């Protein structure tokens, strides 16, 4: 199993540009999520999905879109990049995250994004 894969590893954007961060998992996990990690702060949830066709907002969703057309893929779209979106982005997946479940959550290697 490749686990959770993310592309690209690094990206530099100019303000106002758009792009898509790719995330894929091969573990047949229903739950997938996107986080951003900023210095001195804990990971913050951007969007999550509990299955194909189902997405919802996390703590910091503004400026980002997601879709989940397949179980395997969960891309994150930046609509119009801003310097405040400079961060490290992590995708994660888990078999289930329902209340009472304690399944392990697997993280991808991250995408380091700089917006100038």
Partner 1 sequence: KNQVEQSPQSLIILEGKNCTLQCNYTVSPFSNLRWYKQDTGRGPVSLTIMTFSENTKSNGRYTATLDADTKQSSLHITASQLSDSASYICVVSPMDSSYKLIFGSGTRLLVRP
- 106 and 28 Cβ atoms separated by less than 8 Å: no
Return the residues of window 62-81 that contact partner 1 according to CB under 8 A.
none
Closest listed residue to residue 86, CA positions, set 115, 63, 62: 115
Q: Binding to partner 1 by residue 52, rule CB under 8 A?
A: no
Report how far residue 110's alpha carbon sits from residue 90's, in angstroms, rounded to the nearest whole number: 5
Bridge partners (DSSP) of residue 87 are 113
Q: What angle do CA 19, 107, 3 make, to 5 degrees?
A: 95
Does residue 45 bind partner 1 (CB under 8 A)?
yes
The footprint of partner 1 on residues 10-39 (CB under 8 A) is 31, 33, 35
82 touches partner 1 by CB under 8 A: no
Closest distance to partner 1 from the beta carbon of 63 (Å):
19
Residues that bind partner 1 (CB under 8 A): 4, 31, 33, 35, 40-45, 48, 50, 56, 58-59, 90, 92, 97-102, 104-110
């Amino acid at each position: 199993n490749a686990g959770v894969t993310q592309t690209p590893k690094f990206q530099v954007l100019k303000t106002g540009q758009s792009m898509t961060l790719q995330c894929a998992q091969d573990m047949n996990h229903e739950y997938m999520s996107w986080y951003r990690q900023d210095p001195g702060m804990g990971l913050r949830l951007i969007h999550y999905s509990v299955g194909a066709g189902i997405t919802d907002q996390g703590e910091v969703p503004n400026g980002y879109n997601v879709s989940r057309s397949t179980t395997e893929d969960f891309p994150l779209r930046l609509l119009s990049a801003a310097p405040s979106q400079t961060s490290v982005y992590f995708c994660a997946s888990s078999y289930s995250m329902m209340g009472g479940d304690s399944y392990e959550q697997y993280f991808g290697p991250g995408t380091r994004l700089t917006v100038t």
